Structure 1
Amino acid sequence: MMSADTQTGSRLPASDVSPWVGLVGLATLLAYILLARSFPEIAAMLGYPDQFGRLSGPYSAMLAMVLTGSAMAAYSLVVEKVHRNPSTGIDWENRRPISEIIDISITKLAGLWATWFIIGGLYCLGRWYWEGQYLFAMQVLGAAIIPLVVLSVPYVIWIDRVMKNPRDHSWHFGAMLIGREAFDLEEVKKHWRSWIIKGFFSAFMISIIPIGFAAVVDADAAGILGDPVRLGVLLFELLFVIDVQIGTVGYLLTFRPLDAHIRSGNPFLAGWIAALACYPPLAWGVLGNIINYDVNTADWAYWFADYPPLLWIWAAWLVFLTAIYAWATFAFGIRFSNLTYRGVITNGPYRYTRHPAYVSKNLFWWSSTMPFLVTSGSTVDMIRNTVFIAVVSGIYYWRARTEEAHLLLEDPKYREYYDWMEDNGVITARLARLLRWANPRKGAGIQAQPAE
């Protein structure tokens, strides 16, 4: 419950996720990475010299994700007892008999299985899912489908017995398919928004897990402390691994007993366009070609190569930005995902700006790419690159505004957080004052049309 001071807006609203969940995941992940790097030495101590290498393979990366997610889920249940939160929609004290809910569960299972079948079909149609990094994701998801179908039966029956309203989004889609009971088309739309998000982003996140993990585990640390470029790159990789590993957990652990279920997907078409433009396959054409901002550029290490003090300063600055980006992900604990509402986060970096990941990510791109410096000496290249990276930043601003519109629509607490940040956020309040000065007639409200 929020205090009277919070309700009046004089205090920052309490976060729906404590910082400890993400920190438990972070500690677990770092411990496993240390184990994976040290495995040859550990094996030698156990009497198996020269028989094992570092655990840097893709399945080791998946194991790291499983252990990280399990630790966060266990902490959430055992310590924070999130399964008792009213927002789960569960009443553990009133279990219905199976005979009372079995028809509901069958309808829901029909909806779920049909959803998975359709998503699998869409994977088959997308050629990009069957080449390159996506092949590993297809292998993992293909291996998971049979256990998922089998385990969904006892899980759905179990959860329907204690849900206050077991006729959820999945049930409405199942009812539409079966055609025997009244269904709400708006609930069906909510069901598909959530599952399109899970299907699209889960495949993408799983596909990139092994890449950064292998780079971190296999990295040669010899002499790295004296080289700002190598040290910086290794720390970038490590922080991106933290972001990807914990972010993937968020897409997979969308369970009500963890209070991590997707309460709604973004209903605004503009939000979907802005978000999907930043990820494959659309990003390959949009960000990779149409508005490519790194033509004939080098990077920070090239331009500062003759100035060692600047190399160290710039490496530290870029590591700081990447750390903010990773922090913005693990602050969600097990609730991270794009285009969704799963509660309101007000702690960690979200205490300073409403969009710390977007701010830090875009500053990183500007600072590392330096699009206004080109190796070709062409003024046209300088202008083009600078304009295009500004367009990319504009896309992220667009994403931020549509996400705010979604959350303002869903939760009064977010309105309290939004208003508090307008007046008190270290970054947000200053930007808000600047925007009000630039356009005093423009109100704070956000308008958008839901996607159909």
Structure 2
Amino acid sequence: MTARNPVADPRPASDVSSAVGFVGVGGLCAWILFCHFYPEIASLLGLSAERGRLTGPMAALFGLVAAALPMVLWSVLVDKVHRRPSTGIDWDNPRPVADIIDISITKLAGLWATWALIAGLYCLGRWYWDDFYAISMQVLGLAAVPLFLLSIPYVIWLDRVLVEPRDASWHFGAALVGREAHDPQMIWIHLRAWAVKGFFTAFMIAIVPAAFAELVGKDWSDQFANPVAFAGILVLLMFVFDEQIGTVGYILTMKPLDAQIRSANPYLAGWVAALACYPPFQLMQGGGPLFYQSNTADWTFWLGEYPALMWGWAGLLVLLTAIYAWATIAFGIRFSNLTYRGVLTNGPYAYTRHPAYLSKNAFWWVSVLPFLVTSGSLVDAVRNTFFLGCVSAIYFWRAKTEEAHLLGEDPKYGEYHAWMNRHGLITAPLHQLWQGIAGRRSPVLQAAE
């Protein structure tokens, strides 16, 4: 079958504009520059520069604000996302408070019970009280009371304009109160969505400070003198973009911004595949069953005697990390794992359905070179290669479970999925290759003569 002309067969429109994520990156870059050059700025303004560069956790967390605020303003003022029907909001016909107050009280009961449940799980999970998660627990603990108080006017205000205020949170509250009929399916939708927020928000907050501090604290003047430093600073910058924009996505799951979690993945396989990639369930970390770096020495060791090749390799690593960061930036305020929050078809998603997974795994293969080991052991080389192959297989599994989820949620994703099979720069050739392999494996049965 001949692929259709992409001009006559246009790609489905994206629910996220191309610009919103880069506006957030712009705000974040401005904050990074301010933090790095704070001593010079302070001296220029006649202030004390004893503090040095702003590398502390509070500076890193304020980076979330610096990234989020421009994206929110762009989303509302330019993209006008608050006016989309997918928000479920009718701004022009607000109800009187008296008409919705009972609904809001029930919803608040469900919301507060959910937060209490998440807090209880944080208390039970002893890993949340290790050093890695300490900043997350501090931030969430400080935010608890303000969120509790602000949730009251927010829920009442939102219920006045929601077309259907009896949403998944309300159904959970109704089940707890026990006075109104509720839909168990809606309760599961609510619990899955908050499971995603509870698990991943804590993780994302935890990883934000370290990379930010390293980036801001570095001496940038000598970072482009050799390929190792060049790759290191730019890869670090891309990771900071990814972490900051991604964390904003988990925080801003709000209907007025059309960024609500419409559903979380209902498939157990999707959760297993995703959680296997994150602590405390991570399989590929040091000591884990899929650890693939035994006696490895990464690319700088093996290519150190070839300067030209080192520069090329460094450029490739930066490119792969840039694609990975772009895949997060393209989501704008909607990034989160295991969720459906609209259909994204632009940016790197115009070339492959899973640019983050593809670039991340390619980065690991290219940077670690698992088949080269300092021990000289063929067994180590085979093991490392096999286990990194297993890691890549897990990400392939994640991709397929995500596709199954989205195909069941939105016909537009089905259109995008099919379009990519026809025209995706990376996806289409792979799809054709797979179709060819599947065709050879499954010969057409011939009628008996």
What displacement does 1:441 show? 7.4
Which ranges of structure 2 fall in alignment gaps of 5 or more residues? 443-449
Q: Which amino acid aligns with 2:137?
A: M
Which residue does the alignment assign to 1:450? none
Question: Aligned ranges for residues 295-314 of structure 1 at < 5 Å?
Answer: 295-314=294-313
- CA-CA distance at 1:364 after TM superposition: 0.1
Q: TM-score, normalised by structure 2?
A: 0.96
Of the structure 1 ranges 357-366 and 47-56, higher mean CA displacement relative to structure 2 is found in: 47-56
State the partner residue of 1:243.
242
**Partners of 2:132 and 2:31 in 1: CA distance:** 23
Find the counterpart in structure 2 of residue 353 from structure 1.
352
Q: CA deviation at 1:440?
A: 1.6
Give the Å deviation of 1:48: 2.4
* Aligned pairs (5 A) from 1:39-50: 39-50=38-49
- In structure 1, the gaps of 5 or more residues are 444-452
Moved more, 277-286 or 236-245: 277-286
State the secondary structure of the residue aligned to 1:133. Answer: helix
The superposition leaves residues 409-428 of structure 1 with CA deviations (integer Å, 9 ceiling, x where unpaired) of 00000000000000100000
Deviations 1:90-109 (A, max 9, x none): 00111111111000000000
Distance 1:285 1:299, change over 3 A: closer
Deviation at 1:288, TM superposition (A): 4.6
- Give the letter for the 2:226 counterpart: D
Q: Which deviations, in whole Å up to 9, do the C-alpha atoms of 1:133-171 show, x marking residues without a partner?
A: 200000000000000000000000000000000000000
> Who is 1:448 aligned against?
none
CA drift of 1:132 comes to 1.5
- 2:315 aligned counterpart, secondary structure: helix
Contact 1:6 1:13 in 2 (8 A): no
Q: In structure 1, what is the equivalent of residue 315 of structure 2? A: 316
Q: Which amino acid aligns with 2:112?
A: W
Q: How many residues align?
A: 439
Distance 2:78 2:117 in 1: 38
Please state how far the C-alpha of 1:210 moved relative to its aligned partner.
0.1
Residue deviations 1:75-121, cap 9 Å, x none?
Answer: 10111111000000000111111111000000000000000000000
Given the superposition, is the C-alpha separation of residues 389 and 26 from structure 1 closer, same or farther in structure 2, using an over 3 Å criterion?
same
Q: Within 5 Å, which residues of 2 pair with 1:44-443?
A: 44-283=43-282, 288-440=287-439
The amino acid of 1:425's aligned partner reads G
Q: Which residue of 2 aligns with 1:15?
A: 14
Instruction: Provide the TM-score with structure 1 as the length reference.
Output: 0.95
- How far apart, CA to CA, are the structure 2 residues paired with 1:37 and 1:53? 9
Aligned-residue Cα RMSD (Å) equals 1.7
Residues 46/286 of structure 1: CA separation in 2 closer, same or farther (3 Å cut): closer
Amino acid in structure 2 at the alignment position of 1:279: Y
User: In 2, Cα distance between the equivalents of 1:285 and 1:349?
Assistant: 26
CA 1:112–1:9: 2 relative to 1, 3 Å: farther
* CA positional deviation for 1:287: 7.2
One-letter amino acid matched to 1:64: G
Equivalent-residue separation in structure 1 for 2:235 and 2:338 (angstroms): 25
Letter in 1 for 2:15: D
CA contact 2:277–2:284 (8 Å) conserved in 1 = no
| Deviation of 1:286 (Å) | 6.8
> Would you say the 8 A contact 1:9–1:420 is kept in 2?
no
Assess, with a 3 A threshold, how the Cα gap between structure 1 residues 90 and 288 changes in structure 2: closer, same or farther: farther
Pairwise CA distance, 1:71: 1.2
**CA drift at 1:9:** 8.3
Question: Once the 2 structures are TM-superposed, how far is the Cα of residue 70 of structure 1 from its aligned partner?
Answer: 1.4
How far residue 223 of structure 1 moved from its aligned partner, in angstroms, is 2.4
Q: What's the offset of the Cα at 1:266? A: 0.3
- 8 Å CA contact retained: 2:283, 2:290: no
For 1:77 and 1:339, the matched residues in 2 are separated by 25
Q: For 1:203 and 1:398, how far apart are their aligned partners in 2?
A: 24
Indicate the percent of aligned positions where both proteins have the same amino acid. 59
For residues 275-313 of structure 1, the C-alpha deviation after alignment (integer angstroms, 9 at most, x for no partner) is: 000000001677751011000000001111111111100
